Structure 1
Amino acid sequence: MSAHPNILMDRYPNHLSRKPGLSLMTWNVQGAGSAVFLSMLKELIRVNNPHVLALVKTQISGATAQRVCDRINFGGKTRVEAEGFSGGIWLFWRPEEVTVTLFIHNSQHITVEISRVGEIPWYYTTVYASPDITKKELLWKDLEDFARTHNRPWLVMGDFNDTRFLHERSRDSECMRRRCNKLNAWFETNNWIDLDYSGPNHTWSRGHSADSRKWARLDRAICNSSWRVMFAEGSIRHLVANQSDHCPIIVNTNGFAPIPGILRPFRFQAAWMCHAKFSEFVANNWNNELPLIPFIYNFAEKLQTWNKVVFRNIFERKRSLERRLLGVQRKLSSGGPDYLWKFEQKLRGQLDEVLREEELLWFQKSRMEAICDGDRNTRLFHLSTVIRRKHNRIEALQDGKLGLGRAIC
């Protein structure tokens, strides 16, 4: 798996990574059967737009798994069935962006070849390492055997169910020390490179008190030297943990750029009616005795002020909650105070509420009459809104005498 650096630079020149990067996301979902999970997943897809998506520990199989997979909007898909109520790996990709060729699939990993026009093909493995140490060692051996017979850039990503260092977990023990040493020995033998990450130090946490809480960096992305040279800017980001004890992790082969702010014009929002203080605001400011037209004008001004001060911009609140949640999870990963666990649960609940309000906002803007499956498909609603605006837009007025047009944009 190792090679001379100069040879690597000749084989995988830097200009190959100047194209838009590929995004690959993996998430230990701890069960993929609930409607809440599907809504959260669709929001993650909408915001992060991964080209390749891996879900591990799905815990469902057969017809039930097929129904859920069909509602995840990717053209390419393959899966390893769960064994009873444990395990399960699903892999999705966008065939219009990447070509995926399946090599190996078993209960602990799916390995594929990813190719893209103008780029050298490379390998990608999504991992769900068994908690059983004996089975886990079989996984490490399986990957070693693959490396001996395949010599291309390679990215391995997923839930390793172990840590490399003791500082990557909340509790220390002699057993954990031996497990860290064993994983590090495997890293060194195979010359694996850990990708740099941003976000909380841990990717898994459990417990809501100082006595019961645990956390660890169980999920990670690693690569061989060929992949690291081919994608010099590639990095990993730990996303907000919600609906699972694990946070999703995402790799972009060209690194991450700041997400630009979103500006929206003021409109009456149906989501206001979901706010706990909206009814109180209407009761305190509505007056049937005043003339309707001037009253409506005055009421609209008060409502606009209420929107800015109390309700506030949905997208700003969502970004603020995500930043706060990431900050809390980062603090908890380094042994934060006990009250932060309850605060994290509170923030998760608030984020779910904001996501529901955002869904309602896009539903209103799209002027659609129904949400077919009850899914949070804000991308669809956004697209419908853009199309409607395009149809309604006046591009020019024609002078009847001269036959000239004037743009009035």
Structure 2
Amino acid sequence: MKLICWNVRGLGMPRTVRRLQHMLRDINPSVVLLIETKLRSAQMAQVRRRCGFINGIDVDAVGRSGGLSMGWKNNCDVSLRSYSQRHIDVLINDDSDGKLWRCTGFYGAPEEQHRAAAWNLLRQINDMPEIPWLIIGDFNEIAFLNEKQGGLTRSDRQMQEFRRVLSDCEVEDIGYKGRWYTWEKWRFESNNIRERLDRGVANSPWLNLFPRYVLNHLSHSFSDHCPLLLNTQDGENSNKTWHFRFEASWLLEDSCEPEV
């Protein structure tokens, strides 16, 4: 199964919708998750259907920000569990393999003061640990300093809170192929900022269910985020990108040396 996840940064212009239609036609995913649509649900439903996804769920934008949409093809058996301004949670029954798994599209809070509430939402919906679970989306946060280049240094506390919620939900980063960053601001070398804000994380049952998955960071044109393309049955999955992680602040912990 192919799944596209993309923070599109608004779909209010006909030209943007046409570009999205072209991309989805070329890739032909079974499920598409669109983040930050900046549209009312009725408007987004029209866009989703024009893109060939008759079935789906659309969440209103708040003013000129936010908005979520998840659509799926007719041959997909998808059932909605819950949704909010920050997430869409579904169960997918993959008839081709007879596999049942859970997919949560997530949009993390752009504002730091609202991030704790977003993390608590993930903890609240972590109610089916036995079901293979994938969370994919724009988390609006990095886990380690090497996931950011340029701009202000991210505080240790913010990254620790992100890593803590992943640990609490018993999910781990599933890696990627392609460029290391998923979001870019400014193009001049003097002020360029790049961060890995978009990712997929999954629990052990999901990783065991789909050992051949691949997550690609695709090139982007009309958004400052790149699309994520997940293929659950792509290949041997031996060329994912993994990074050794180390924070200098860990050296200050008394338990560091015994743990190492």
What TM-score results when the alignment is normalised by the length of structure 1?
0.55
Question: In structure 2, do the counterparts of structure 1 residues 256 and 44 end up closer, same or farther at CA, with 3 Å as the change threshold?
Answer: farther
Matched, 1:101 2:86: no
CA RMSD after TM alignment: 1.8
Shift of 1:236: 0.4
| Rounded Cα–Cα distance in structure 1 between residues aligned with 2:15 and 2:5 | 18
Query: Is the Cα–Cα contact under 8 Å of residues 24 and 51 in structure 2 kept in the other structure?
Result: no
| Rounded Cα–Cα distance in structure 2 between residues aligned with 1:149 and 1:229 | 16
Query: Is the Cα–Cα contact under 8 Å of residues 45 and 58 in structure 2 kept in the other structure?
Result: no
| One of 201, 204, 207 as aligned partner of 1:222 | 201
Partner amino acid for 2:91? E
Question: In structure 2, do the counterparts of structure 1 residues 28 and 256 end up closer, same or farther at CA, with 3 Å as the change threshold?
Answer: farther
| Rounded Cα–Cα distance in structure 1 between residues aligned with 2:40 and 2:92 | 26
Query: Is the Cα–Cα contact under 8 Å of residues 54 and 90 in structure 1 kept in the other structure?
Result: yes
Shift of 1:221: 0.5
- Consecutive unaligned residues of structure 1, counting only runs of 5 or more, are 1-21, 258-409
| Rounded Cα–Cα distance in structure 2 between residues aligned with 1:146 and 1:223 | 14
Partner amino acid for 1:50? P
Shift of 1:161: 0.3
What does the per-residue CA deviation read over 1:85-112, in whole Å, with 9 as the maximum and x for residues that have no partner?
110001100121x211101110000000
Query: Is the Cα–Cα contact under 8 Å of residues 166 and 172 in structure 1 kept in the other structure?
Result: no
| Rounded Cα–Cα distance in structure 2 between residues aligned with 1:171 and 1:181 | 20
Partner amino acid for 2:88? I
Matched, 1:202 2:198: no
- Structure index of larger Rg: 1
Match of 2:57 in 1: 78
Moved more, 62-71 or 211-220: 62-71
Matched, 1:27 2:6: yes
| Rounded Cα–Cα distance in structure 1 between residues aligned with 2:48 and 2:166 | 34
Matched, 1:255 2:234: yes
Query: Is the Cα–Cα contact under 8 Å of residues 60 and 67 in structure 2 kept in the other structure?
Result: yes
Match of 1:115 in 2: 93
| Rounded Cα–Cα distance in structure 2 between residues aligned with 1:67 and 1:138 | 31
Match of 2:162 in 1: 183
| Rounded Cα–Cα distance in structure 2 between residues aligned with 1:40 and 1:110 | 24
| Rounded Cα–Cα distance in structure 2 between residues aligned with 1:148 and 1:76 | 25
| Rounded Cα–Cα distance in structure 2 between residues aligned with 1:46 and 1:227 | 27
- Secondary structure at the aligned position of 2:63 is classed as coil
Match of 1:51 in 2: 30
| Rounded Cα–Cα distance in structure 1 between residues aligned with 2:34 and 2:162 | 23
Partner amino acid for 1:238? H
| Rounded Cα–Cα distance in structure 2 between residues aligned with 1:207 and 1:60 | 25
Query: Is the Cα–Cα contact under 8 Å of residues 142 and 148 in structure 2 kept in the other structure?
Result: yes
Partner amino acid for 1:39? R
Query: Is the Cα–Cα contact under 8 Å of residues 103 and 112 in structure 1 kept in the other structure?
Result: yes
Q: How do residues 294-305 of structure 1 correspond to structure 2 at under 5 angstroms?
A: none
Counting aligned pairs with the same residue, the percent is: 29
Matched, 1:41 2:20: yes
Q: How many residues align?
A: 235
Q: How do residues 147-158 of structure 1 correspond to structure 2 at under 5 angstroms?
A: 147-149=126-128, 151-158=130-137
Larger strand fraction of residues: 2
What TM-score results when the alignment is normalised by the length of structure 2?
0.84
| Rounded Cα–Cα distance in structure 1 between residues aligned with 2:63 and 2:153 | 32
Matched, 1:237 2:216: yes
Question: In structure 2, do the counterparts of structure 1 residues 256 and 89 end up closer, same or farther at CA, with 3 Å as the change threshold?
Answer: farther
Query: Is the Cα–Cα contact under 8 Å of residues 161 and 218 in structure 1 kept in the other structure?
Result: yes
| Rounded Cα–Cα distance in structure 2 between residues aligned with 1:122 and 1:51 | 15
- Secondary structure at the aligned position of 2:99 is classed as coil
| One of 61, 66, 82 as aligned partner of 1:87 | 66
Partner amino acid for 2:85? S
Partner amino acid for 1:170? Q
Question: In structure 2, do the counterparts of structure 1 residues 160 and 62 end up closer, same or farther at CA, with 3 Å as the change threshold?
Answer: closer
| Rounded Cα–Cα distance in structure 2 between residues aligned with 1:229 and 1:189 | 19
| Rounded Cα–Cα distance in structure 2 between residues aligned with 1:27 and 1:213 | 21
Partner amino acid for 1:93? W
Q: Where has structure 1 moved over 4 Å in runs of 4 or more?
A: 172-175
What does the per-residue CA deviation read over 1:295-323, in whole Å, with 9 as the maximum and x for residues that have no partner?
xxxxxxxxxxxxxxxxxxxxxxxxxxxxx
Shift of 1:123: 0.5
